[in-house]
Structure 1
Amino acid sequence: MGESQVTEGMLEKFYRLNQKKKEIESAMKEMKKQFHNYFDETVGENVKGQVTVGDYILQRQVRTIEKFNEAKTVEKLEELKLEDLVVKKPDIDKMKAAINLGILKENDLEDCRVINISPALSVKTK
């Protein structure tokens, strides 16, 4: 394996870049807010639009995501005698309660566990 090392210079550079990133994200957030306000006033809220200024084209797309309220949907499907359209899933809170009461053993579910690990880095000044 190659030799890995972390230097103060690397940490300093990472820290400075992270600060710049935060400033850039904040400035872009404000500009996006202004752009949305422009489109809200000129074409209407939640309406796609486009404007050309000089060599640049600004477009707003509007995506609609539709979801169903789980509890109401299950209730309605059961009411309509369409229970086979309902997907069963484990109730984590009830599982934890069953483990606490001794009805279920934690190792009974060992082969059912999925563990995701995502490392994160942070650099701060003293």
Structure 2
Amino acid sequence: MLVKYYELNKQKKEIELEMSELKEVFQQYFNQLFGADQKAEITMNGYKLQRQVRKTEKYNEEETIRKLEGLQLHDLIQVVKKPDDKKIKAAINLGLLNPEQLEGCLTTTCSAAITVKPITPR
């Protein structure tokens, strides 16, 4: 089972790399034929190749905040309060904060990962 898992994982990586290269070729083809960031579709040999374009818009945080403050529109700006992990650890190390004072505040998450590697190089 270990050998099979290792070999399949190796094949998966090779397949993902090859698919990534093919996708890049398809993107270049569509860019030349239809233009960049344009929805496109072709049918060939019983297959349909399609490019969908998803557009997302996001405000530049610093510039937008500067302009909103200049317009006195402070209600349109979020104030996000969150703990600064580095400063908390530094305060604990310096003795300014006792870890017991934050009891119940620290959450720990774990994630498991499986790797299989040959002991001797192949």
TM range (shorter): 0.7 to 0.9
- Residue 95 of structure 2 is aligned to residue 102 of structure 1: yes
Shift of 1:82: 1.2
Q: Which runs of 5+ in 2 are unaligned?
A: none
- Give the share of equivalent positions with the same residue, in percent: 49
Residue 36 (structure 1) aligned to one of 27, 36, 52: 27
SS in 1 for 2:50: strand
What is the rounded CA distance, in whole Å, between the counterparts of 1:26 and 1:94 in structure 2? 41
Shift of 1:97: 2.4
Shift of 1:99: 2.0
Shift of 1:95: 2.1
The superposition leaves residues 93-119 of structure 1 with CA deviations (integer Å, 9 ceiling, x where unpaired) of 222222222222223333222322110
What is the rounded CA distance, in whole Å, between the counterparts of 2:66 and 2:98 in structure 1? 31
What is the rounded CA distance, in whole Å, between the counterparts of 1:95 and 1:123 in structure 2? 38
The answer to whether the 8 Å contact 1:50/1:58 transfers is yes
Residue 113 (structure 2) aligned to one of 96, 107, 120: 120
Equivalent residue runs for 1:72-111 within 5 Å: 72-79=63-70, 80=72, 82=74, 85-111=78-104
What is the rounded CA distance, in whole Å, between the counterparts of 2:61 and 2:99 in structure 1? 28
Q: Which runs of 5+ in 1 are unaligned?
A: 1-9
SS in 2 for 1:85: coil
Q: 1:110 to 1:73 in 2, by over 3 A?
A: farther
What is the rounded CA distance, in whole Å, between the counterparts of 1:119 and 1:113 in structure 2? 20
Which consecutive aligned stretches of 4+ in structure 1 deviate over 6 angstroms post-superposition? none
What is the rounded CA distance, in whole Å, between the counterparts of 1:93 and 1:63 in structure 2? 36
Shift of 1:16: 0.9
Aligned-residue Cα RMSD (Å) equals 2.2
